[in-house]
Amino acid sequence: MGRRLIPLVAITFLVAFTSSGCSKKKPGPAEGAGAPGLDENALSGDSLARAQAGLNPAEGGPLKDIHFAYDSFELDESARQTLQQNAEWLKDHAKAKVEIEGHTDERGTVEYNLALGAKRARAAKDYIATLGISADRLSTISYGEELPLCREHDDVCWQRNRRAHSVVLGAD
């Protein structure tokens, strides 16, 4: 595998991908490991990949999560500030690509929540793009209510789950 020490996290995901037997199209954190400025903490894996490796979804990371009001995909002031910070990080790591995941809390039905998650991810992507980040560095995916951070049936947990979570995919 070469001259670099591959981060332990990346090895974990490489094993998870091959042992689950699926050839996932999305780039995993094993690619681009060790690229300048991207350490193993940055490459935490997207929420489904993490679940396949037996991990819970990550909360935050080098790029911070933003949160939404119930049944909404509007960015409030706090969300916009967070996305501005995320955009700064992306400017400092000019080769990094990002997948923005849209999530919802558990209330409501599966299909509507998948569509709502898609709107949330897209809202975050569109805003970051207006801040000067090239859109071809930004992809989106919705997981609806399927990959929550927590499963309690209360407002605190619901608020945590109503999020757009950004996953660094590594550089080309």
Partner 1 sequence: MKRREWMAVVVGMSVVGASATHAQVRGTVFGPGSRSYPIAVSPLKDQSDRGTGAKLAVEFADIVVRDLDLAGLFKIIDRSAYIEPPDTTGITAEQINFDNWSVIGALALVKGSVQSVGNDLTVEARLFDVYQRRQLVGRRYRGDSPTQVRRIANRFADEIMAQFTGERGPFDSRIAFVSTRGGRFKNLYVMSLDGGDLLQVTSGKTLDLSPSWSIDNRSLLYTSYKRGNPDLYSLDLIASRETRLSAEKGLNLGGKWSPDGSRLAVALEDKGNSDIFLLDRDGKVIRRLTDHWGIDVSPSWSPDGQHLAFCSDRSGVPQIYIINADGTGVHRVSTEGNYNTSPAWSPKGDRIAYTGRAGGRFNVFTVKVDGSETQQLTSGQGSNEDPSWAPDGRYIVFSSTRTGAALLYVMDRTGTSQVALTHGSGDDTSPTWSRWLE
- Which residues would be at the binding site for partner 1 (CB under 8 A)? 20-26, 48, 51-52, 71, 107-112, 114-116, 118-119, 121-123, 125-126, 140-143, 146
CB of 49 to partner 1, least distance (A): 9
CB of 48 to partner 1, least distance (A): 6
Task: Concatenate the DSSP letters of all residues of the chain into one string.
Answer: --SSPPPHHHHHHHHHHHHTT---SS--TTTTTT-TT--TTT----HHHHHHTT-PPP---SS--EE--TT-----HHHHHHHHHHHHHHHHSTTEEEEEEEE--SSS-HHHHHHHHHHHHHHHHHHHHHTT--GGGEEEEEEETSS-S---SSHHHHHHHSEEEEEEEEE-
CB of 87 to partner 1, least distance (A): 18
C-beta of 34 vs 122, nearer to partner 1: 122
CB of 36 to partner 1, least distance (A): 26
CB of 65 to partner 1, least distance (A): 18
Which tokens belong to 155?
């407002």
C-beta of 42 vs 169, nearer to partner 1: 169
CB count in 10 Å sphere of residue 101: 25
